[in-house]
Each structure stands twice: as C-alpha cells, then as structure tokens.
Amino acid sequence: MTQQADGVGDNLSRIAAAKSVGEAVKTAGDHLQKSRIDTARLDARVLAAGAFDMSPEDMLLHADRLAPADDLSRFAEYCDRRMQGEPVARILGEKEFWSLTFKLNEATLVPRPDTELCVETGLQILAGKGLTAPHILDLGTGSGCILISLLTELPGASGVGVDIALAAIEMAQVNALKLGVAGRTKFLQGSWDAAGKGLGKFDLIVTNPPYIPALDIRLLAVEVKDHDPQRALAGGDDGLVAYREIANIVARSMRTGAVLVAEVGNGQAQDVVEIFECAGLVRALDWCRLDLAGRGRVVVAEKC
C-alpha cells in the first residue's frame, strides 16, 4: 500500500467511526489542525457540506444527524486530499466569488477574494460614466468570474471573455449558463491580441493576467504552486510581461474613452501604470485601488 493510500485508510477509519455529521466534522477538524492547516475547522465544515450535500447552516442545525457511510467515506477522502495540500475549492470543484458559485476545472485559477475589487472598480467606473448597457472585455477570463459577476449586476450589459486555455473557456461557458448570463456573453479561445480582432467596441476592459515573477513561483504556497494552472500564474521574468502585451493591444485597438481595469500583484501598481502610460494610455484620477490589506491591487487607465 502506498503512503497516500495508508493516509486515506487512517483518516477514513477515524472519520467513518463518527456517529453523526457533527462528530465527523469535529474529528476531521482535529486531523486537519494536526496537519497544520491554518483554516482547519472552517475547511472541515466546508468539505463536509460538500460531502454530505448539506448547507453549512443545515450542518449546524442538524449536527446530530446520522451520516450515511458513502458520504462519510467521501468526506474522509476529501480531508485526506486537503491534508496533502489540495485547496478546498479544487476538491469541491467550485468557489464562491461575488456571492456566486463558480465551477472550476484544471485550467481555471481558483478565483480570489481580492479579485472582487476588479468587479467593484468596474461597476463604479461604469456608474460614473452613466453606462447601463456597456460592452465589456475580460482578458484571461479563466472561470469567467470577473465578467460574469459584472454582467449579473448590469442586466443591460454584454461581454466577451478571452482565454488562451480552451478548457477554461469551456468552464466559463458553463458558469455563464448556470448563472443566467449566457445570452449576453461570448467566450473565445485566444491570446491577448484577440482583443484587437474586430470583437467590437468595448467600454470596459478588465483583466487579471498572470503576474507572478518566474523566480517567485517556487516560493508560493503548495495550494497555489501545485494546484493552480501555471498559465494562470507565470508572469515572465519580472511578472509584468502580460501587462506590456495587453497595454499595447488596448492602446492600439480600443476606442477613445475605453477604460482598462487591471489586477496587479504586490508592489506592481506603479510599474504597471507606467507600462500603460508608455503604451499611450492615461492613468485615471483614482488610478490605484487598494485591497483590504491596504496594498495597491487594481490599476485603472483610460484611452483618451
């Protein structure tokens, strides 16, 4: 038996001995904590909700419910995967973003809470311009989380999502359908320059491109470096390669008045706005939006 199979067996037997849903969650939380998972109790609850097909609220209300054996063994397997460093969202194949649930596959980044700032910023800009039916482009759309979230807030809006990964495009299409905006979206496989290929005139371009510098990738948490797609992370030697390409394309092919909203990595805001300016874009008045930790997370530039 392999080491991993041993682990599954151990965890399975301990969790499978649980008499109730509540006891299974408590036992799993203890095991995850021993494995030094920072969010052990929360992860146990979320994984249990998936394995037992119960809402987190129901699990609290019905903690004494007897758990079926199949569900218990699924829960044990989930916990074992979590102990090996797999993120909860990968195990469950979905992640909440902007209070919506997005399905994930191997080609999609797990959407991050920080990226909600792109949605918030985009909505503020469109409201400021009085645009209620804007046409939006999302470069590097992944699961489609930014574009789809914007469209759910703007019933008159339409948009195009572009990604180099075909499997990501397929997942984004599934999410758009599930979240009721498929009729207003188009998803295309292609590189950044797809933006300049006659897709129409965009009022807003959003992007969360790969921005991790090559040498920093090995320093990332196991959850990220071993489970998020490399194509979603790798930003070239200095982490800024995608911004240069996107800036040139946007500057060349976007209509006057179009606004570019880009997520940036830690410490990259100044460099990115300068890249945008070099390409001929103009930084917006309020060009650097801060995340909850007070770091520059989103950069805004315009084509004038």
Residues engaged in binding ligand SAM (CB under 6 A) = 109, 111, 115, 140-143, 145-146, 162-165, 168, 191-192, 208-210, 231-232
Nearest-approach distance from CB 122 to ligand SAM, in angstroms: 12
Please identify, using beta-carbon distances, which residue of 75 and 192 lies nearer to ligand SAM. Answer: 192
Please identify, using beta-carbon distances, which residue of 111 and 159 lies nearer to ligand SAM. Answer: 111
Nearest-approach distance from CB 173 to ligand SAM, in angstroms: 14
Please identify, using beta-carbon distances, which residue of 29 and 142 lies nearer to ligand SAM. Answer: 142
Nearest-approach distance from CB 94 to ligand SAM, in angstroms: 13
236 φψ region: left (φ > 0), alpha (ψ -120 to 50), beta (else): left
Nearest-approach distance from CB 235 to ligand SAM, in angstroms: 9
Question: Interhelix angle for 69-83 vs 3-16, to 10°?
Answer: 130
Nearest-approach distance from CB 212 to ligand SAM, in angstroms: 9
Nearest-approach distance from CB 142 to ligand SAM, in angstroms: 3
Please identify, using beta-carbon distances, which residue of 186 and 231 lies nearer to ligand SAM. Answer: 231
The 10 Å CB-count burial string (b at 16+, else e) for 253-269 is bbeeebbbbbbbbeebb
Please identify, using beta-carbon distances, which residue of 166 and 278 lies nearer to ligand SAM. Answer: 166
Please identify, using beta-carbon distances, which residue of 44 and 109 lies nearer to ligand SAM. Answer: 109
Please identify, using beta-carbon distances, which residue of 195 and 259 lies nearer to ligand SAM. Answer: 195
Of 40, 32, 68, the closest CA to residue 53 belongs to: 68
CA distance 272 to 249: 15
Nearest-approach distance from CB 284 to ligand SAM, in angstroms: 20
